[in-house]
Amino acid sequence: MNRPHYILLPVSPLFIAFSLFCAFLLNLLPWGNFIGVPDFVALVLVFWGVHQPRKVGIGTAFFLGLLMDVHDSTLLGENALAYTLLSYFAIMLHRRVLWFPLLTQAMHVFPLLLMAQSVQLIVRFFVSGKSPGWFYFVESIIAVALWPLATWLLLAPQRRAVDRDHTRPI
């Protein structure tokens, strides 16, 4: 319980855009529809929705969802709807989630990612009538397992150096 609390530097909007772009590029990699490959855009959207709700919002999520719809050649708006709902609920829970340690944060993020995947599954089922099965939800479990790593990576530029200058008041 005695973990140190650090004052983080303000996040750069360029770094947020860069992280979302990198997540989009990770989703574009040619591993196709392999079981267990998480949706990196959803993971990064949830992260920034929880940590910076005023800088990454529902509009960004909708735009990235449309880009993913075009890439996946799915029904236009499927990923946009899922990402929009995901971003809305992440912003709604952001004050609560930040009070918990990383593993508990991951348990709060898990229903959000599961809900986004469920929305995608329901839309695909109504359009095509096919269901991919229960292994489809393994992606959310793996994304939740990556939550501590994503937190460490995405908060790294904001951390101050420990005891960098003893003459500074903060």
The string of pLDDT tens digits covering residues 103-141 is 999 999 999 999 999 999 999 999 988 888 888 899 999
- pLDDT for residue 5: 64
Residue with tokens 């929880």: 50
pLDDT at residue 154 is higher than 90: yes
Stretch 54-73: mean pLDDT: 95
What span, in angstroms and rounded, lies between the C-alpha atoms of 107 and 110? 5
SS3 82: helix
What span, in angstroms and rounded, lies between the C-alpha atoms of 62 and 75? 14
Q: What is the mean pLDDT of the chain?
A: 90
What span, in angstroms and rounded, lies between the C-alpha atoms of 46 and 30? 23
pLDDT at residue 1 is higher than 60: no
- pLDDT for residue 3: 60
Enter the DSSP assignment of 7. P
Maximum average pLDDT range among 5-9, 95-99, 143-147: 143-147
Query: Could you tell me the pTM of the whole model?
Result: 0.89
Token pair belonging to 28:
């574009």
Identify the band that residue 162 occupies on the pLDDT scale cut at 50, 70 and 90: low
- pLDDT for residue 142: 96
Token pair belonging to 99:
């009070």
Stretch 16-30: mean pLDDT: 96
What span, in angstroms and rounded, lies between the C-alpha atoms of 100 and 19? 23
- pLDDT for residue 8: 83
